[in-house]
Chains A and B, each alone.
Chain A
Amino acid sequence: MKRMIGLFLVLAVLVIIPAIDLAFAAGDEPGEYLDRRVIIWNLFFRLMAVAFTVGAVVSGTLIWLVWRFRESNPKAKPTPYEGTDW
């Protein structure tokens, strides 16, 4: 637990605090003439890419899990609580 707290403290100092600092400092300057279409659609596509990647990894893991640990898999071994009567 102590190690976790230490890790989070290090992360906070290295990443979180500078990021918050930078973000708030940027708010004081006048904004640029940015194209909100580009910002918003870029965000949308990036987040969709992340969502589909996570979806593929999670569903791929589940498919592998079900395929690998099915009873009929030649590599399947009975666990102690299933007994040895196969």
Chain B
Amino acid sequence: MSGHSNMPEWIYIAVVVALMTWVGAEAWNAERLVEHVPEGAEVIKVTAQQWFWTFEHEDGTKEIGELHVEVGKAYKFEIESKDVIHSFNIHDYVVLMDAVPGRVNTVWFAPTEVGEHAIQCREYCGLLHYNMRGTLYVEEQSS
């Protein structure tokens, strides 16, 4: 083995370690940004149960199967489940969080445009899982 150099192996290891570190750091930073709830975000309690969604606003208003929010405001969802594991998903806004019985999971978002978007359950939760849907209505700001 005379004259053999390990340098290519070390370079390979260094490149792999550097790439993995970079990928991890980027993902970690994106997660940190996305999980960072802005000040003044309105809390909406989301309750999942077979097979519909219930939403409760800060002022006590309740909605079933539909959710009305205002454009340009931040909303923090506090998500829980009454029976089995569900997953709260607003696909168009990349909102996705499991609803687990016995614990409250949070996720936040700020709608940017007026419009209607689908809300759906993203975790198989029984016979009518496919129909556990809702609608998100993003409306103009009232004040």
Contact = CB atoms under 8 A, between A and B. Distances in A.
Contacts of B93: 36-37
Contact of B94 (A23, A27, A30, A36): A36
B103 interface: no
Interface stretch (A43-51, A69-77, A78-86): A43-51
Interface string B12-54: 0000000100110111111011101111000000000000000
A23 B29 contact: yes
A12 B110 CA distance: 37
A19 B74 CA distance: 28
Contact of A33 (B29, B34, B95, B110): B110
A54 B19 contact: yes
A32 B39 CA distance: 8
Contacts of A54: 19
Given A30-B39, A33-B74, A33-B110, A47 B34 contact: no
Interface string A25-40: 0110011111111011
A39 B29 CA distance: 10
A35 B39 CA distance: 15
Interface in B44-71: none
A52 interface: no
Contacts of A41: 94
Contacts of B36: 27, 30-32
A39 B26 CA distance: 10
A36 B109 contact: yes
Which 5 residue pairs spanning A and B have beta carbons closest together?
A31-B36, A30-B39, A43-B30, A31-B38, A37-B94
Interface of A: 19, 23, 26-27, 30-37, 39-43, 46-47, 50, 54
Interface of B: 19, 22-23, 25-30, 32-34, 36-39, 72, 74, 92-95, 109-110, 112
